[in-house]
C-alpha cells in the first residue's frame, strides 16, 4: 500500500506521456501551482464527469495560476480517444506501471461496492510553485469535486 502525501511534503516529480505520447513533467511546471488529479479509467462515467468539470473550469483555474494534470493508468491511445470523444482540454497523462499513482498514495486498497479491492484511489494533490504539497485529498467524489477545490482554495 502506498503512503499518502501530506501538506509540506515534496511532491514526487514525474514525467509521463500525454494523450499524444509527448512527455509531461511536473518539473516543467515549476513556478506555477499544479492540480494533479488521479482517476481510475478514461471513458467511464465518473471519470468523464470529473474531466469535463476540470475542462469547464480550466480557464478560471489557469487565471488563478493553476495548471491541471489528470493521471490514470491508461495508455496514451485510450487517453486520446477520451480527449476526442469528450472534447477535453485538460492535460491527461498515462501511468500504466502505476509508479506515479503509488508515489502519490493514489493506488492501493479501497472500498468498491462494499468490497475491499486494490486499485486507483480517486485523489487530488495540489502542488505549490516550489513543488511542495499544498493539499492532498483522497477518496474524493467525481461529481462536485472541482467546485469544492475552487471553494476550498478561496478562488
Closest by CA to 39, choosing from 85, 113, 133, 107, is 107
Residue length of the chain:
155
The answer to whether 23 and 17 are in contact (CB under 8 A) is yes
Q: What is the model's pTM?
A: 0.94
Distance CA 40, CA 74 (A): 8
Q: Is 52 a catalytic residue?
A: no
Confidence at residue 109, expressed as pLDDT on a 0 to 100 scale: 86
Residue stretches of the chain with pLDDT short of 70 = 1-2
CA torsion angle 72 79 58 5 (round to 10): 10
In 38-108, where does DSSP find H-type helix? 45-56, 58-63, 76-86, 99-103
Confidence at residue 2, expressed as pLDDT on a 0 to 100 scale: 65
Q: Please pick, among 5, 11, 35, 47, the residue that the annotation labels catalytic.
A: 47
Distance CA 54, CA 48 (A): 10
User: Per residue in 26-36, pLDDT tens?
Assistant: 999 999 999 99
User: Per residue in 113-133, pLDDT tens?
Assistant: 788 889 999 999 999 999 999
Amino acid at each position: 500500500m502506498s503512503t499518502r502525501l501530506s501538506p509540506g511534503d515534496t511532491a514526487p516529480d514525474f514525467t509521463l506521456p500525454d494523450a499524444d505520447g509527448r512527455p509531461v513533467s511536473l518539473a516543467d511546471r515549476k513556478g506555477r501551482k499544479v492540480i494533479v488529479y488521479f482517476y481510475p479509467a478514461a471513458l467511464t462515467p465518473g471519470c468523464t464527469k470529473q474531466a469535463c468539470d476540470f475542462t469547464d473550469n480550466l480557464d478560471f483555474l489557469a487565471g488563478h495560476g493553476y495548471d491541471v494534470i489528470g493521471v490514470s493508468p491508461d495508455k496514451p491511445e485510450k487517453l486520446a480517444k477520451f480527449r476526442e470523444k469528450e472534447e477535453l482540454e485538460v492535460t491527461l497523462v498515462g501511468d500504466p506501471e502505476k509508479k506515479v499513482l503509488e508515489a502519490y498514495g493514489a493506488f492501493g486498497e479501497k472500498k468498491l461496492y462494499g468490497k475491499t479491492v486494490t486499485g486507483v484511489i480517486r485523489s487530488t494533490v495540489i502542488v505549490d510553485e516550489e513543488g511542495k504539497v499544498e493539499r492532498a485529498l483522497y477518496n474524493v467524489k467525481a461529481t462536485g469535486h472541482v467546485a469544492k477545490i475552487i471553494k476550498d482554495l478561496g478562488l
